[in-house]
Amino acid sequence: MATIRVVLADDHAVVRKGIREFLEEDGDIEVVAEAADGERVKELIHMHAPDVAILDIRMPGATGIEVTRWVRSQALPVKVLILTAYDDNPFVTAALQAGANGYVMKDADAEQITAAVRAVYHGQTALDPAVARKLATGLPTAQSDLMPIESLTDREMTVLELAARGLTNRGIGVQLAISDRTVQGHLANIYAKLAVGSRTEAVTKAIQLGLFHLPQAGE
């Protein structure tokens, strides 16, 4: 089994120590570096090229959201998992729009957080169940602002559900007996209909619309 290499950023040393200990307990996750502020974690990401960056929201220098935007602007092949105490919808939405692959609360069980790391590593979107519920219930007053321009077809819904479970385009194609190009076409249509630009945003909006429920990390 490949080791998942992690860079961990949190401005509290005691918190970092606790997270590191339970992450490394099973042996398939290694914390290769730690940072106490947002600017330092950028340096460490460049230096170590980790598989996953675990970021707190509020840190000196740069917030976890700002670091996430930076990771995406650099087109780095790093999955980003936000691990924080803030579950307010504006924080969650901003993090996901910035390109975070997951958002988990610090008070989650150690097993849930470890599962979330593995989930984002494998390309899945990992949302804390409490966060997912808040997203689903915290809809704008004007429901029309949230509705897609066109309804998704049954095939597009299937493609989106498989994408939410972490399947690659090739994996979705094999599952549905269609070509990679056809999968790409379905995803392009989904993004256009939902007015989003990524899988994470598409999954989040689908949850808000009640189109389906996100599988919990590890399922």
Q: How confident is the model at residue 219 (pLDDT cuts 50, 70, 90)?
A: very low
Query: Exposed, middle or buried by CB within 10 Å (0-12, 13-18, 19+), for 141?
Result: exposed
What mean pLDDT comes out for the span 14-38? Answer: 94
Euclidean distance between CA atoms 17 and 38, whole angstroms: 18
Q: Is 123 left (phi over 0), alpha (psi -120 to 50) or beta?
A: left
Tokens standing for 128? 């804390």
Lowest-pLDDT range, 35-39, 78-82, 130-134, 176-180?
Answer: 130-134
Phi, psi of 51 (to 5 degrees): -75, -40
The CA distance from 106 to 127, in Å, is 12
Residue-wise pLDDT tens digits, 116-158? 999 999 888 888 887 877 776 654 444 444 454 567 888 998 9
Domains defined along the chain, listed by start? 4-137 (3.40.50.2300), 143-209 (1.10.10.10)
**If you ran DSSP here, which 8-state letter would residue 143 be given?**
G
Q: 1-35 b/e with 16+ CB inside 10 Å = b? A: eeebbbbbbbeeeeebeebbeebeeeeebebebbb
Residue range 166-187, pLDDT digits in tens: 778 888 999 999 999 999 999 9
The residue to which tokens 């989930």 are assigned = 119
